[in-house]
Amino acid sequence: MNLSPSNEQLDKYVSKQLESLFPDVNHGSPRELRDYTDAAFQRAKYCFLRVNNKYFSHFNCLHTDQYAMFLYFLSNTIYRTDQNKDLASRIYALNKALHGIDVFYEVELPDIFLFVHPVGTVLGRANYGNYFVTYQCVTVGGSYDCAHPTLGSGVVIYGGSAVIGDCMIGNNVLVSINTTVMDSNIPDNSVVNAAGYHPTNKNVITRYFVNLPGRNNSI
């Protein structure tokens, strides 16, 4: 995967955006960001190489889905590495301001996932399986009783949908548009809509992700 701009330019790019949005605080200098951006980009590279989309073959800060994913990786890497909550918070807020997505730096998304124009999406605390795909205006999070969902491998949540509370979502599940799943269990290989769920022979992983040499892409 090619990096455009260079790592040094990426540090400066993020730093200038932070300075513009948060001028009255210690926004994060390029030097402060360097170790984090390198590590975050390696995580992003691992993820992007597995996305079945020609635009993910090159990293581009102006590809907003890519950049939103990178900023999540950056905020989460900062938090994981040094528990630097001030800097992680600024990156999280930058992502929210630029892309309209709310994914807190403490939320642990899987190593392989995909944002598809995720404006208005809120990804809260949950157990996320690999090959997770989310579209716009999606909500994942806890219930009033603070129960959180568990999502299996190969789950795609389409626009306007929500997965809330004590849910066990199986492997290879498609949550249809404008569907709410709350405190419910959904079996493997299902499509969920407002009327309930039914079996599907569609495969989320092969639709949205690629099979790299030497790697089994099955659930």
Share of the chain above pLDDT 90, in %: 74
Q: In this structure, what are the phi and psi dihedrals at residue 33, rounded to the nearest 5 degrees? A: -80, -20
pLDDT confidence of residue 83: 81
CB 71 within 8 Å of CB 15: no
- Answer yes or no: is pLDDT of 200 > 60: yes
Poorest-confidence range of 77-86, 95-104, 138-147, 208-217? 208-217
Of 124, 121, 117, which is closest to residue 66 (Cα–Cα)? 117
Strand ranges in 41-138 using DSSP code E only, listed in sequence order: 58-60, 102-103, 113-115, 122-123, 127-128, 132-134
Instruction: Note whether 144 and 126 are within 8 A (CB).
Output: no
For the chain, helix (H) and strand (E) counts, in that order, are 5, 17
Q: What is the predicted pLDDT for the residue at 218?
A: 40
Where residue 214 falls (left for φ over 0; alpha for ψ -120 to 50; beta otherwise) is: left
* pLDDT score recorded for residue 142: 94
Considering only the top CATH level, what class is 113-207?
A: mainly beta
**What one-character DSSP code corresponds to residue 134?**
E
- Domain locations in the chain as residue ranges: 2-100, 113-207
- 163 three-state secondary structure: strand
Compute how many other C-beta atoms are within 10 angstroms of the C-beta atom of residue 44: 24
Predicted pLDDT at 78: 95
**Can you give the pLDDT at residue 26?**
64
Q: What is the mean pLDDT of residues 111-131?
A: 97
Q: What is the pTM of this model?
A: 0.92
Residue 41 to residue 47: CA distance in whole angstroms = 10
DSSP labels, 11-47? HHHHHHHHHHH-TTS----HHHHHHHHHHHHHHHHHH
φ, ψ at 163 (rounded to 5°): -125, 110
Sign of CA dihedral 148, 91, 76, 14: positive
| CB of 198 closer than 8 Å to CB of 207 | no
Residue 199 to residues 82, 101, 156, 193, 203, Cα–Cα distance (Å)? 44, 31, 15, 12, 11
- Of 54-58, 78-82, 105-109, least confident by mean pLDDT is 54-58
Mean pLDDT of the chain: 91
Given a cut of 70, whether residue 101 has pLDDT beyond it is: yes
